[in-house]
Amino acid sequence: MKQLSDFIGKRRVKTPSMDIFPMEVGRRLRLQRIAFRWRQSDLALRAGVSVQTIKTVEKGEAISSWNLLRILLALNQGSDFLKMLEAPNFPSLKAHEHYLQLTSVKGPSLLGRRVRTKAVTATQTPEKKA
């Protein structure tokens, strides 16, 4: 009989390391741009960014999150991006349960509130130097 972990393990793709991740994002954006038969200047115009920004992200170098979002929206990835955020990969069942509590209709509103994972006690705060 198969266990739950057998199904979960097959579904999840291993996340690339921080060294590889930007290169993989750039590669995938480039492939999608080419599949659309767009030049870098076409994507830059549609995204409202410079051609240099497109070249930078395709090389796997850092760009601002705002520019990355503009590029994703220009490539019609906005709804996919939001869908990904709706269904995160939880590290544990407890984390998933907590997420469901926070997003339920009766759950607390987190807008404008600070969220702490653990209560801070007086013994945990660093002592001030005189």
Kindly list the structural domains of the chain, giving each domain's residue range(s) and its CATH number in brackets, ordered by start: 15-86 (1.10.260.40)
The pLDDT score that the predictor gives to residue 83 is 78
Quick: pLDDT tens for 82-91: 777 776 777 7
Candidate from 24-38, 53-67, 81-95, 116-130 with smallest mean pLDDT: 116-130
What does the angle CA 119 – CA 125 – CA 129 come to, to the nearest 5 degrees? 165
Sign for the pseudo-dihedral over CA of 101, 107, 111, 115: negative
Give the global pTM: 0.61
How far from the centroid of its chain's Cα atoms is residue 66's Cα? 13
Candidate from 49-53, 59-63, 73-77, 94-98 with smallest mean pLDDT: 94-98
The pLDDT score that the predictor gives to residue 129 is 46
